[in-house]
């Protein structure tokens, strides 16, 4: 009984930390506006333009979905390192359907039908990848980081076999519309991102699964004593991550008009960075979608400003990586100082 009491005390501490995250979100908002201000001063007449913000709205949604996929697995106390490979494999399967099942001269109705089928199959592929990850973790008991590190290579290998290392190109306009067009002046990728984020927010905050996920991440032992089926929640979580990755994969191929096994490989580390920076506890149980969105936007505004300034010339990407890492360290140091100050006051 003493052990159970200790576990529930830990659970209460984690849930209290979750309730006190509003200050961190305000801090992120302030940092975001500071970035916008600095970049506006550095790029007068260029940064604060509709064209720049429209470019940002087209470029960040797929990266944002991958970050949210990592977030939901971090809430459980794990991580999904296979999100990029899942996205690419899902996109490649969709691309193969689009390039083989649409005959020359096909009518628009047939094209729409095949495009819809390709999207559904891609999401199912992401779902299967998530189930495979979840089974490795819950049945075989492989640690999350090792399981998804292995499946990252497996899924990439399958994608390379399917494409023979080449890119699949030439998709119908109905698919390209999703990644490159606007609806009433709003980029379609942004609309898809907002709709997906709304659904994820409802799932996490308004459903029994969301509550149980936070409980599981806060303390797995205490969660089990409350009757939560830990393995079921973990399996659902990695299925959700796979679906989000698949949607990101569809958005990537619709924007680039091509599918390849190694697209988006540079997204993994930044996605982990913004997830942690957005207030998600890597140990699980703490984090909000809104915080991650603010972190994503902050990093995107920073990247856009660096691209305009072209700092570092040909090495600008490395300078940008330094800036991202420095920004993460700054946020973590501020959080550490606030937590230490709060502990002293307590």
SS3 letters across 24-60 = HHHHHHHHHHHHHHHHHHHCCCCCCCHHHHHHHHHHC
Given pLDDT bands bounded at 50, 70 and 90, which one contains residue 82?
Answer: very high
Q: What is the pLDDT of residue 9?
A: 52
Q: How far apart are CA 144 and CA 133, in angstroms?
A: 8
Does the pLDDT value for residue 119 go beyond 50? Answer: yes
Given pLDDT bands bounded at 50, 70 and 90, which one contains residue 263?
Answer: confident
Does the pLDDT value for residue 311 go beyond 80? Answer: no
Does the pLDDT value for residue 232 go beyond 60? Answer: yes
Given pLDDT bands bounded at 50, 70 and 90, which one contains residue 341?
Answer: low
Q: How far apart are CA 95 and CA 119, in angstroms?
A: 9
Given pLDDT bands bounded at 50, 70 and 90, which one contains residue 286?
Answer: confident
27-31, 229-233, 241-245, 278-282: least confidently modelled range? 27-31
Helices (H) and strands (E) in the chain, counts: 15, 4
pLDDT, tens digit, 9 for 90 and up, residues 6-44: 544 554 555 444 444 555 677 778 888 888 888 888 877
Most confident of 29-38, 57-66, 144-153: 144-153
Does the pLDDT value for residue 59 go beyond 60? Answer: yes
> Residue 125 has which token pair?
């592929």
Looking up tokens 């509003």 gives 22
Domain around 302: 2-345
For range 243-263, the mean pLDDT: 93
Q: What is the pLDDT of residue 55?
A: 87
Residue 294 in contact with residue 278, Cβ under 8 Å?
A: yes
Give the residue, 118 or 336, on which the prediction is more confident. Answer: 118
Does the pLDDT value for residue 313 go beyond 60? Answer: no
Q: Give the predicted TM-score (pTM) of the model.
A: 0.87
> By C-alpha distance, which of 229, 197, 236, 203 is closest to 78?
236
Residue 129 in contact with residue 253, Cβ under 8 Å?
A: no
Share of the chain above pLDDT 70, in %: 84
20-34, 207-221, 242-256: least confidently modelled range? 20-34
182-186, 189-193, 245-249: least confidently modelled range? 182-186
161-170, 300-309, 336-345: least confidently modelled range? 336-345
User: What is the domain-level CATH number for residue 78?
Assistant: 1.10.3470
Share of the chain above pLDDT 90, in %: 46
Number of domains in the chain: 1
> Residue 43 has which token pair?
């790029």
Residue 215 in contact with residue 222, Cβ under 8 Å?
A: yes
């Amino acid at each position: 009984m003493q052990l159970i009491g200790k576990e529930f005390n830990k659970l209460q501490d984690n849930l209290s930390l979750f309730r006190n995250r509003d200050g961190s979100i305000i801090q992120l908002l302030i940092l975001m506006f500071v970035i916008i201000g600095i970049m506006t001063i550095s790029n007068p007449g260029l940064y604060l333009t509709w064209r720049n913000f429209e470019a940002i709205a087209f470029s960040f949604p797929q990266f944002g979905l991958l970050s949210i996929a990592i977030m939901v697995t971090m809430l459980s106390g794990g991580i999904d390192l296979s999100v990029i490979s899942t996205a690419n494999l899902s996109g490649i399967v969709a691309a193969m359907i689009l390039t083989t099942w649409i005959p020359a001269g096909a009518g628009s109705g047939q094209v729409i039908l095949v495009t819809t089928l390709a999207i559904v199959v891609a999401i199912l592929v992401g779902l299967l990848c998530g189930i495979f990850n979840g089974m490795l973790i819950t049945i075989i008991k492989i640690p999350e980081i090792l399981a998804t590190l292995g499946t990252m290579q497996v899924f990439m290998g399958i994608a390379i076999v399917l494409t023979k290392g080449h890119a699949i190109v030439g998709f119908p306009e109905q698919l390209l519309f999703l990644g490159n067009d606007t609806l009433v002046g709003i980029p379609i990728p942004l609309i898809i991102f907002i709709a997906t984020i709304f659904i994820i927010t409802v799932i996490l905050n308004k459903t029994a699964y969301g509550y149980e996920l936070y409980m599981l991440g806060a303390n797995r032992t205490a969660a089990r004593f409350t009757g939560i089926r830990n393995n079921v929640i973990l399996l659902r979580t990695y299925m959700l991550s796979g679906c989000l990755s698949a949607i990101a994969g569809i958005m990537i191929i619709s924007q680039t008009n091509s599918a390849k096994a190694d697209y988006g490989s540079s997204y993994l580390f930044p996605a982990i960075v913004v997830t942690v920076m957005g207030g998600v506890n890597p140990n699980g149980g703490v984090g909000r979608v809104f915080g991650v969105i603010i972190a994503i936007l902050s990093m995107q505004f920073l990247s856009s400003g660096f691209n305009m300034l072209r700092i570092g010339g040909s090495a600008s990407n490395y300078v940008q990586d330094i800036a991202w890492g420095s920004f993460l360290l700054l946020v973590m140091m501020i959080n550490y100082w606030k937590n230490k100050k709060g502990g002293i006051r307590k």
